[in-house]
Structures are given as structure tokens and as C-alpha cells.
Amino acid sequence: MDWEHDGITRRSALYHSVGGLALVCSFDFDKRARATRGKTTSAALRSKASGPFEPFQRDLPIPAVARPVRSSKKLEEYVFEMKPSNVEILPGYETPILGYNGTFPGPTVKARRGREVQILQKNRSDRELNVHLHGGVTMPQYDGHPHDAIPAGDERLYKYPNVAHSATLWYHDHAHGETHLTLFAGLAGFYLLDDPDDKHFDLPQGDYDVPLMITDRSFNKDGSFRYRFDLDRGFRGDTILVNGAVAPRMKVERRLYRFRILNASNARPYNLKLGNGREMIQIGSDGGLLPAPVKRKNIPMEPAERVDIIVDFRQFGVGSKVILRNDGGEPSTTAVMRFDVVRGKAEEARVPKQLREEDELPAPNAHRSWPLTFQGLAGGSSVWQIAGGGFSEMRIDCRPRLGTTELWTWRNLSNRTHPMHMHGYLFKVVSVNGEPPHPGNRGWKDTVAVYPNEEVVVMPYFDYFAGRYVFHCHAAEHGDMNMMGQMEVVA
Ligand code: C2O
Ligand code: CU
């Protein structure tokens, strides 16, 4: 049973620090961590000096846009370094992170449909890493399979053909069994795939098209991230960051904005609300634009999901302060960010009535069912499982045919939510407990929330590339503790 073996290697690997960050994170070691660090939670920091945790004190940072080292009509080439650095997240404190080019979030890659992107990723950390383009349609050798590691000090070239629809993608580390640490340490960035054919939608652009990466963290007294392993719920921090700043504020003009929201948290779900229930217009989801815009007063987001929304700030007066909140979390996680409305130039964008046309898909070729369970193991430990199996590089759970669709039923037999994610391909949500999905979930998806005791049927389309890809729960602690399967799509 290879999960037992995996458990041992993984556990010893957890002793390693992440870029100088002592991320101690196993069940047994957590106590010791607390003892050596003292009572140094952000809760303690909060009560002593509420200053750094006060919401709306900092302007929203916008992650730098990556510059290609070479570019032509057909190809753009980038070089990234994955390396430790110190950043100022809490004013007056240094926080050690592990980041793409030493930044958190990493640089935003702006890609164009039909033009290839190549990124040479240099691992300048002291541990094995790799890079997964989440939502990307890539050949398997560039997908960041958990077992395709870049050894410390080594490098690897990733090629992204950008053949799929325009969409808000992101890239992050996918090291086998360690994503809950590396993602937490800061290895995540946006990859915005645009399509010149979208121009006629007149969507907000440039400064009015804003990526928002939402994460939760806790902090030690010295300002470093504080991690605590929780196999059951996954990590939950007490502080919300947007683009790496504590609940920031942003000046907005009275006009339309597009926000590309990503939940890049390890395991925390959000339920986003604007002001006291003002309208947000959802235009996209994981796999790009919806068939038509959907008005929403609240938007639930599980880890790894993306939602593209338009907000019309003309509904607010100059001087309004509009808070984006997270409903239903602990009090310290309610404030996400604030929009401060100022006067602006004339409006140029509009909300289109129709967006992407529906793709025609072949009829499903197979039906598979995947029970999601929590399993106690001999010896008192436990893991999360898909179809009663742990993850093994050697095992193939299914072999779909290239060019076909299938119906997959996620059957959640546990009392936790599982955001189920598939690599390499996109899917449509067919039904949730036998009912049609919310209109906001009717576009292409790569991650879908499967709530406790729910049955969610999805229809993946195995388009473009054949090969081996993983599928897994994106609550990072669940995925790392075995909630991962492998498919081989055959031509
Ligand atoms: Cu964003 Cu396999 O993950
Ligand atoms: Cu899960």
C-alpha cells in the first residue's frame, strides 16, 4: 500500500523549511512549533497592536505584469525564478515568502490566444518544486504533474500553446504532497489568457480590468506566516489578503470595472458580497466567459475557483465606500477589501447581453462515479480518498478517449466540501443533486464545489492533448493527503 510509504516520506519532507521559512506542519510537530515560537499567533499580535491588521489601510497592490525576454508573433519567452524573499505584508514587518521572482502574488502573465508562451522556471529554493498552469490546456509534460519535479537548483521549460478560450488562469506549485506548504508560502500568480476576438464585447480594459487574488494567512509575532496543519478542514487563517495585502482599499471611478477574482487560499471558502447586497454581474468562470452575464448578490468561491465580474460603480455616489465582504466566516475574515468611489472620466465599457456562444459537444461516451470519503487507516492516521484509493504515480484510475466527453459523478460521502479539479481539460457542470447548476456555473469549469453529501455530475471534454493528468480535491491539505487520482487520456 503505497500511501503508507508516501506518508512517511512526506512527513520527513515536512521537516524541511520553505525558503528559510520554518513551516512546521504535521500533526505531531505542531505542538513543538508552538512551544519554540511561544504564543505568537496573529490573534495575540492583533490584541497587542491592532495596527497591521486594521482593514482598508493599504492601497490594493497590483501584481507586476511579467515582461518576456523575447517575443515574436508566434511566441513569447519568459524566465522566472522561484526563490525565497522577504516582503512587507504587515506594515513594519518582514514576512519571508517563497515566490515567483520573489514576489507574492507572482508576476501576472498576459497571454494571447494563438500565441505560445514558454516559461523557463528556475528553482532557486532548497526543495523540489514544479509549476502547474491551473485551467491551462497543455501537453502532459508541461502540466506540472506532481511527480515531474524540478530539483533544487535546477530548471525546467514549460510550454503553453494557448489554444483554448480566453480565461482567467493561474499558476502555482504542485510538488507531490507539499502543495499545502508551497502554495501557502507564496507560489501563486495570475495567467490571463485573452483573445483578440473578444474585443467586440467592449469589456473594461487596462486599469479597469483588475485581478484580485484572495488568500487567508495567519502570522507569528515576528511577522512570518504561521501555518497549522488541519487534515479535516484544511488550513484556515485569521487574516484575509488581497493581492498580498491585508484587506486593502482601492480608489475606483464611477464607471464599469472588471474584476478577475481568484480564491488562491489553501482551503478557505468565501461567500462574497458587495456592500449590503449590491449587484455584481458575473461574466466568466474558471474556463472563461459565460454564455450570458448573470446578476449575483453573493458569490460563493471554493479554493482555486475563478469568477470574472463586472461592477457598475455608477450606482454609487462619489465618496461612497463600498466593502467587499466575506459572509459566513469568522469575524476577522469578514472584510475582504473596500472600494472608495471617486469622480472619473466618461464611461467607455458596457455590459454585453450575450457573451460566448455555446460549444457543441459530442454525446457522453462513458459514465464514471467517484465516491469521496474520509478513511481511517490502520495505526490511527487517516486520509482523504477518491473511489477508495490513495494517489500513486503507478496507478491509472481511468482511460478516457481523446475527443470524447464523459459523465463523471462526484459523490461526496463526507461532511466536508471538496472543490474537485481536473488537469488538462475543462468540463461543464451537468447537475447538482439532480438539479441544473446555478447559471454562474454553466460555463466551462475546471474546479467545482461538491458540498457535503452532494452528488455533482460534470461532463469533461477530453479535447486537444492525450496523456497522463491528475484530478484532485483542491483543498490543498486534502489533495496532498491522498485525495488525488490519475487518468490517462488515450488517442
Ligand atoms: Cu490548481 Cu492540480 O491544481
Ligand atoms: Cu477535499
- How does pLDDT run across 233-266, given as a tens digit for each residue? 999 999 999 999 999 999 999 999 999 999 999 9
C-alpha cell recorded at residue 129: 518544486
Mean pLDDT of 197-221: 96
Question: What's the pLDDT score for residue 41?
Answer: 59
Same topology for domains 201-214+230-342 and 367-489, yes or no?
yes
Q: Record the pTM.
A: 0.91
Q: What pairs with residue 213 in β-bridges?
A: 262
8 A C-beta contact, residue 296 and residue 273: no
- How does pLDDT run across 47-82, given as a tens digit for each residue? 544 578 999 999 999 999 999 999 999 999 999 999
Say yes or no to pLDDT of 473 above 50.
yes
What is the distance between the alpha carbons of residues 81 and 240, in angstroms, rounded to a whole number? 26
- Domain 367-489 belongs to what topology? Immunoglobulin-like (2.60.40)
Ion ligand 2 — residues with CB < 5 Å: 418, 473, 475, 478
Ligand 1 atom with minimal separation from the 134 CA? 1
Q: How far is the CA of 392 from the centre of ligand 2 (A)?
A: 17
pLDDT cut 90: percent of the chain above it: 84
Residue nearest to atom 1 of ligand 1 (CA): 134
Q: What pairs with residue 373 in β-bridges?
A: 385
What is the distance between the alpha carbons of residues 411 and 386, in angstroms, rounded to a whole number? 9
Which ligand lies nearest to the CA atom of residue 446 in the structure? 1
Ligand 1 atom with minimal separation from the 484 CA? 2
Mean pLDDT check: name the lowest of 258-272, 283-297, 341-355, 414-428: 341-355
Q: How far is the CA of 150 from the centre of ligand 2 (A)?
A: 26
46: confidence class by pLDDT, cuts 50, 70, 90: low
**Contact partners, residue 35, CB within 8 Å, separation at least 6:** none
- Please provide residue 51's backbone torsions phi and psi, each rounded to the nearest 5 degrees: -40, -65
Q: What pairs with residue 298 in β-bridges?
A: 273
Q: Where are the domains of the chain?
A: 201-214+230-342, 367-489
C-alpha cell recorded at residue 406: 464523459
Domain 201-214+230-342, architecture per CATH: Sandwich (2.60)
8 A C-beta contact, residue 103 and residue 87: yes
Ligand 1 atom with minimal separation from the 472 CA? 2
**Strand spans (E) along 74-226:** 75-87, 95-100, 109-112, 116-123, 131-134, 155-160, 167-173, 188-194, 209-219, 225-226
Question: What's the pLDDT score for residue 393?
Answer: 86
The residue among 32 and 291 whose pLDDT is bigger is 291
Q: How far is the CA of 460 from the centre of ligand 1 (A)?
A: 16
Which ligand lies nearest to the CA atom of residue 410 in the structure? 2
Which ligand lies nearest to the CA atom of residue 263 in the structure? 1
Give the mean pLDDT of the chain: 90
- How does pLDDT run across 19-35, given as a tens digit for each residue? 334 443 333 323 333 33
**Strand spans (E) along 320-466:** 321-326, 335-342, 364-376, 382-386, 405-412, 418-422, 426-432, 447-450, 455-461
- How does pLDDT run across 95-130, given as a tens digit for each residue? 999 999 999 999 999 999 999 999 999 999 999 999
